[in-house]
């Protein structure tokens, strides 16, 4: 088995892994690069593989930095199945066309600037309509169900506790009579969150590909976070200020990491 890391490596965006095993080529995630201009410019670049050579895809969750280039992948020839939790499929049905709409709007604005500079206009990364068409290849699955992709490739999606439908993916591949288990965590949630289950505990793996965005810091307990939050709100109100509370779960603005 060979894994090529094409995104979300030494950065927190553009999640994309190419796996070659058992005579198949497949992807785990195909996310959009977001944030700095140097990252966003990578979205329009060619994939480091031929989309028509990809046999299938595994999607950890619906956030755009993990799913946002699926319509581009589809436009460039990938027409095989994308396996994802049912809730992820439902969310992508909303988020990917919305992302396409944003691509169109931003591209129209950028083309006006290009035109003023005498530069050639460009097409958007993909349109809302193109994004909607890519949804036809999504294959919904449930948690805890072992799925036989081929005789030698099996997968299981487990609750990652990050957002609705987010998944830790267990992957079993059998080559030369030897079975190897690889785990892709995707983005991991926290324990004891009121609206989400805690991440599933995976008991074993030969190889672990793990999200570690916040792995270098100590985390406060939830009761400490709540106390800190209330103190900030109370102090602000006592001073006559206003409290603005943004929601970071699923946002429409793909310029921001979600």
Give whole-number Cα distances, 151 to 22, 27, 158, 200, in Å: 9, 18, 21, 26
Give whole-number Cα distances, 240 to 11, 151, 159, 243, in Å: 39, 65, 42, 10
Give whole-number Cα distances, 54 to 2, 19, 30, 73, 144, in Å: 14, 10, 12, 10, 25
pLDDT tens readout for residues 109-150: 999 999 999 999 999 999 999 999 999 999 999 999 999 999
Residue 10's domain spans which residues?
A: 2-209
Is residue 254 in a domain? no
Q: Which helix (H) or strand (E) holds 149?
A: strand 146-150
Is residue 258 in a domain? no
**What's the pLDDT score for residue 254?**
37
The CATH code of the domain that includes 150 is 3.60.15.10
Is residue 48 in a domain? yes
Is the alpha carbon torsion for 202, 211, 220, 231 positive or negative? negative
Is residue 32 in a domain? yes
Residue 235 tokens read as: 């102090």
258 vs 256: CA distance, rounded Å: 6
**What's the pLDDT score for residue 249?**
57
Q: How many domains, the chain?
A: 1
User: Which of 4, 2, 7 lies closest to 186 in space, CA to CA?
Assistant: 7
Which residues, in sequence order, are bridge partners of residue 56?
26
CB atoms within 10 A of CB 5: 12
Q: Which residues does the chain have with pLDDT short of 50?
A: 251-258
Residue 82 tokens read as: 């994308």
Is residue 56 in a domain? yes
101 vs 129: CA distance, rounded Å: 8
**What's the pLDDT score for residue 12?**
86
**What's the pLDDT score for residue 11?**
86
Pick left, alpha or beta for residue 48 (phi over 0 → left; psi -120 to 50 → alpha; otherwise beta): alpha
Is residue 219 in a domain? no
Is residue 28 in a domain? yes
Give whole-number Cα distances, 92 to 59, 61, 71, 167, 227, in Å: 11, 9, 11, 14, 35
**What's the pLDDT score for residue 253?**
40
Which residues, in sequence order, are bridge partners of residue 37?
none
155 vs 99: CA distance, rounded Å: 28
34 vs 12: CA distance, rounded Å: 9
Is residue 253 in a domain? no
Contact predicate 217/30, CB 8 Å = no
């Amino acid at each position: 088995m060979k894994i090529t890391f094409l995104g979300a490596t030494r950065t927190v965006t553009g999640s994309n892994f190419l796996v070659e095993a058992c005579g198949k080529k497949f992807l785990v995630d195909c996310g959009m690069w977001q944030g700095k201009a140097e990252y966003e410019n990578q979205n329009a670049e060619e994939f480091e593989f031929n989309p028509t050579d990809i046999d299938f895809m595994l999607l950890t969750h619906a956030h755009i930095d993990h799913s946002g280039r699926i319509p581009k992948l589809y436009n460039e020839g990938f027409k095989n199945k994308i396996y994802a939790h049912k809730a992820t499929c439902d969310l992508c049905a909303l988020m990917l066309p919305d992302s396409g709409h944003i691509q169109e709007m931003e591209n129209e604005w950028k083309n006006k600037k290009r035109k003023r500079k005498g530069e050639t206009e460009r097409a958007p990364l993909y349109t809302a309509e193109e994004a909607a068409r890519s949804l036809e290849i999504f294959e919904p699955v449930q948690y805890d169900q072992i799925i036989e992709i081929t005789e030698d490739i099996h997968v299981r999606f487990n609750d990652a506790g990050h957002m609705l439908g987010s998944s830790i993916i267990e992957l079993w591949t059998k080559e030369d009579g030897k079975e190897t288990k690889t785990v892709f965590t995707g983005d991991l949630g926290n324990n004891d969150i009121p609206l989400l289950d805690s991440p599933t505990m995976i008991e074993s793996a030969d190889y672990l590909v793990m999200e570690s965005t916040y792995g270098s810091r100590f985390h406060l307990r939830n009761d400490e976070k709540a106390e800190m939050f209330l103190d900030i709100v109370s102090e602000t109100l006592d001073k006559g200020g206003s409290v603005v509370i943004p929601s970071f779960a699923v946002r429409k603005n793909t310029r921001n990491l979600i």
